[in-house]
């Protein structure tokens, strides 16, 4: 059975019968994990192994594990600093900042891969305008060159750890104040302003071969009346054709408040897929997931399947013990531990 176009979550720390029923559905292609799915390292490894054993080819396993406030697994994992900390270092010493971002990406990827996770939804490529309620210190910087330099360095570290990268939130979520988890953000700027500023890190990372991109649940009314993740203009005309992106497009979570403008969950999913997403995410809504799997009719294209196949984690991952026996890895841990202070947590 090939991978389907839907990524769902699972309820707890081990698979239930309902989880397994959903994961066997031909429309499903991936699983996103949350804090509630983690108890300890051994449990997480067992959970990902059981998810991968459900079917062939194995389902993709992803997590939001950016660092700072957005790091799902904490106890037993290295604390990754907020990306803004690397931006602060970049202001004084760009070379050092890039080296540290590469090491952080390697640690992040290697530790997740040691537990069977295929990829993290990172890096954030949004610009740090200072007003966003949801982006904040998740962003590297306000300078597009600093963002692309640091995100590229992080991506190289992810690759070293065996993990592809996912840039978000195209074409840029940093300018709007509203949080798309709880409201519908609207960015009133015209296309040229967005293209000259916010889209630059995406353009540069696409040129550098980033494997996947997630669009923003933001409306840019001077470009299209639909949020970017539901807009053929943004996804096909601009992202695919103008910027030449040929990797995976993942929707943001269809259960977020900003996605509800798209109608019921099946209508939303169909709109996102038709607009150009290869895979849609639906999180924290088991009843809605059943509704979607019962009602969505979608045949995934050979092109989408080929793109998704590249999202499987690569390299044979070392165990955590194996990583900690590597002098280079231990040195990277010490370097990254000196970067910034991790505070709070976002959307556990």
What are the CB-based long-range contacts (under 8 Å, 24+) for 126-131?
Answer: 126/168, 126/169, 126/172, 126/173, 126/174, 126/198, 127/172, 127/174, 127/175, 127/197, 127/198, 127/201, 128/84, 128/87, 128/174, 129/174, 129/175, 131/175, 131/177
User: 254, 237, 308: which is closest to 5 by C-alpha?
Assistant: 308
- Outline where 256-344 has alpha helix (H): 265-275, 286-295, 302-309, 320-324, 327-337
Q: Is residue 199 included in any domain, yes or no?
A: yes
The answer on pLDDT for 49 being more than 70 is yes
In a 13 Å sphere around the CA of 277, the CA atoms on its Cβ side amount to 29
Per residue in 244-292, pLDDT (tens digit) is 999 999 998 888 655 555 578 999 999 999 999 999 999 999 999 999 9
User: What pTM was computed for the model?
Assistant: 0.94
Mean pLDDT of 167-174: 94
CA distance 61 to 59: 6
As a whole-number percent, the residues of the chain with pLDDT over 70 amount to 94
Active-site positions read 181, 252
Number of structural domains (the chain) is 1
The answer on pLDDT for 152 being more than 50 is yes
Assign residue 13 a region (left: φ > 0; alpha: ψ between -120 and 50; beta: otherwise). alpha
The answer on pLDDT for 310 being more than 50 is yes
Provide the pLDDT for residue 1.
83
Domain span including residue 106: 62-279+313-337
Provide the pLDDT for residue 348.
39
Of 131-140, 155-164, 276-285, 295-304, the one with minimum mean pLDDT is 131-140
Annotated binding site for substrate: 64, 72, 138, 168-169
State which of 74-83, 272-281, 310-319 shows the largest mean pLDDT: 272-281
Provide the pLDDT for residue 273.
97
Provide the pLDDT for residue 217.
87
Of 169-183, 277-291, 310-324, the one with minimum mean pLDDT is 169-183
Q: Is residue 253 included in any domain, yes or no?
A: yes
Per residue in 204-226, pLDDT (tens digit) is 999 999 999 999 989 999 999 99
CA distance 44 to 33: 10
Chain position carrying tokens 């590229």: 152
| Start-to-end CA span in the chain (Å) | 32
Chain position carrying tokens 């030449």: 244
Q: Tell me how far the alpha carbon of residue 161 is from its chain's centroid.
A: 16
pLDDT band at 13; cut points 50, 70, 90: very high
Per residue in 90-100, pLDDT (tens digit) is 999 999 999 99
Q: Is residue 40 included in any domain, yes or no?
A: no
Spatial contact of 249 and 215, defined as CB atoms under 8 Å apart: yes
Q: Is residue 266 included in any domain, yes or no?
A: yes
Q: Is residue 184 included in any domain, yes or no?
A: yes
Spatial contact of 160 and 107, defined as CB atoms under 8 Å apart: no
Provide the pLDDT for residue 130.
81
- Total Cβ atoms within 10 A of residue 17: 7
The answer on pLDDT for 127 being more than 80 is yes
Strands 65-67 and 28-33: unpaired
For residue 35, give the 3-state DSSP assignment. Answer: helix
**Higher per-residue confidence, 175 vs 274:** 274
For the chain, what is the mean pLDDT? 92
Mean pLDDT of 323-343: 86
CATH number for the domain spanning 113: value is: 3.20.20.300
Q: Is residue 36 included in any domain, yes or no?
A: no
The answer on pLDDT for 180 being more than 60 is no
Q: Is residue 212 included in any domain, yes or no?
A: yes
Q: Is residue 208 included in any domain, yes or no?
A: yes
The answer on pLDDT for 8 being more than 50 is yes
């Amino acid at each position: 059975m090939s991978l389907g176009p839907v990524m769902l979550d699972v309820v707890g720390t081990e698979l239930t019968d309902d989880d397994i029923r959903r994961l066997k559905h031909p429309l499903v292609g991936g699983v996103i994990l949350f804090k509630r799915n983690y108890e300890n390292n051994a449990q997480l490894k067992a959970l990902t192994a059981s998810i991968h054993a459900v079917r062939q080819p194995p389902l993709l396993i992803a997590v939001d594990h950016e660092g700072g406030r957005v790091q799902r697994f904490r106890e037993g994992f290295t604390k990754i600093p907020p990306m803004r900390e690397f931006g602060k270092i970049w202001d004084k010493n760009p070379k050092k900042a890039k080296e540290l971002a590469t090491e952080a990406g390697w640690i992040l990827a290697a530790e997740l891969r040691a537990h069977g996770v295929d990829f993290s939804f990172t890096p954030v490529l949004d610009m740090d305008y200072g007003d966003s309620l949801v982006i904040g210190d998740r962003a590297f910087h306000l300078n597009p060159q600093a963002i692309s330099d640091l995100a590229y360095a992080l991506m190289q570290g992810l690759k070293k750890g065996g993990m592809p990268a996912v840039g978000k939130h195209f074409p840029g979520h940093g300018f709007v104040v509203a949080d798309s988890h709880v409201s519908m953000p609207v960015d009133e700027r015209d296309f040229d302003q967005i293209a000259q500023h916010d889209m630059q890190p995406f353009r540069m990372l696409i040129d550098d071969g980033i494997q996947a991109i997630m669009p923003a649940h933001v409306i840019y009314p001077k470009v299209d009346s639909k949020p970017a993740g539901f807009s053929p203009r943004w996804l096909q005309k601009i992202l695919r054709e103008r910027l030449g992106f040929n990797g995976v497009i993942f929707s943001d979570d269809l259960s977020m408040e900003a996605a509800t403008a798209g109608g019921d969950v099946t209508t939303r999913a169909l709109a996102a897929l038709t607009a150009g997403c290869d895979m849609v995410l639906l999180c924290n809504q088991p009843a809605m997931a059943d509704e979607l799997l019962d009602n969505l009719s979608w045949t995934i294209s050979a092109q989408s399947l080929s793109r998704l196949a590249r999202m499987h984690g690569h390299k044979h991952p070392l165990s955590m013990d194996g990583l900690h026996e590597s002098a280079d890895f231990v040195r990277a841990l010490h370097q990254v531990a000196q970067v910034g202070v991790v505070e709070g947590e976002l959307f556990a």
